[in-house]
Structure 1
């Protein structure tokens, strides 16, 4: 794992925390490097607790959300960046797709995590998926020699959405996060603007831990996160 780079792209600044903070923590604990990119702060549609203040401003919400995300990313050993593209709706134009492709070429991650391509309740999540999928293709140049700078093709996975059965999400990978669950809980605690989600995702980690135990026979697994491979992985043997 040492030297491997992971890029996690969320539509909003807290998305990575609920869905992949454990996998990020496991990755960095093993010596990998992780970068979390939020395409927006979720300042309009995902910061309801902050808007209860009648004197609140959108710039202050962004500031708070940035600080929360930085704290959460630090808890799992990652760095945090935001493109600040606005939310509800999130619109990722050609210029921003190329900006994302450039980041992929420069950072050259071995693994990329983002949203699935469907979500009937959140329009920003599929928009993020489409942007990441296109940028990944452009950054790799279809995996062959090209007339522009490229990065090696990365593994490409979707993290688990809030309601997987309505998003076409089928787990193909479970990551054992038992050892790093305290770090995930610390990251979740940093997201005070969406504190109501902590219990749900704490329970979800237990549920996926149960599934991972059944799949693997490893009774030591208590918590896990689920992912769906979008591109086949290559191995030397089965």
Structure 2
């Protein structure tokens, strides 16, 4: 696993399952990687039970084989996007996060000191693993800010947290505050899609999402934007001017 250079800025992506970061934040990952950021992608699980239905249709399939295949897919996608992948292997359906894993994530915050954090929506009535992942991402952030946690290591500041788009946003009380232009890196995100053979049915869906967010970004700017990603802010933006 590659480490950030001493002067290299970082961002952190916390994904419930092995493919979530590709569909929802692949554009942001590729954009920041091209800008010279160290992008750490933490996958809490491989999505071996709930998001690998295509693989389970093969005779003789086992949980170990599914995990290995999903890890390979996620690693290839991360390599295409320019991120560094770290998998916790906590299981899914249900995802359960013990304190040891929560503190491991807090240590990653302290290690890479991210300038921003990306994770899931706070609600998802179709997938309970997703809001748990973002809860853990934000709880670990708070622990990493606590002076009494490993006081020999410097605390982090207050990196902004952005929640990427759930599969059915209207049902998850999610709406975008930020529309990110990912047109320059769309080809990378699309190539990363194709590594996710276990969820081929989502390739076209998330292409349509990117086109829709691009059209909305164009409507809300002076630019012609073809592909976009939507994000919801968790904390207020602090600025010396309104923009």
TM-score normalised to the size of structure 1?
0.95
Query: What's 2:64 paired with?
Result: 59
The 1-side partners of 2:35 and 2:180 are apart by 13
Q: CA deviation at 1:235?
A: 2.1
The 1-side partners of 2:191 and 2:84 are apart by 15
Higher mean C-alpha displacement, 203-212 vs 103-112 = 103-112
The 1-side partners of 2:239 and 2:42 are apart by 28
Query: What's 1:127 paired with?
Result: 132
Large movers: runs of 4+ above 3 Å: none
Residue deviations 1:38-97 (CA, integer Å, cap 9, x gap): 000000110111111111111111111001001001111111110000000001122211
Q: CA deviation at 1:31?
A: 1.5
> Are positions 1:81 and 2:86 aligned together?
yes
Structure 2 unaligned regions, length at least 5: 1-6
The number of equivalent residue pairs is 233
The 2-side partners of 1:49 and 1:187 are apart by 18
The 2-side partners of 1:214 and 1:39 are apart by 36
The 2-side partners of 1:170 and 1:108 are apart by 27
Query: What's 2:96 paired with?
Result: 91
Query: What's 1:216 paired with?
Result: 221
Q: CA deviation at 1:217?
A: 2.2
The 2-side partners of 1:146 and 1:110 are apart by 22
Structure 1 unaligned regions, length at least 5: none
TM-score normalised to the size of structure 2?
0.93
Aligned pair partner of 2:210 in 200, 205, 208: 205
Residue deviations 1:144-168 (CA, integer Å, cap 9, x gap): x556231222111100000111111
Query: What's 2:200 paired with?
Result: 195
* Superposition CA RMSD, Å: 1.3
Query: What's 1:157 paired with?
Result: 162
Query: What's 2:40 paired with?
Result: 35
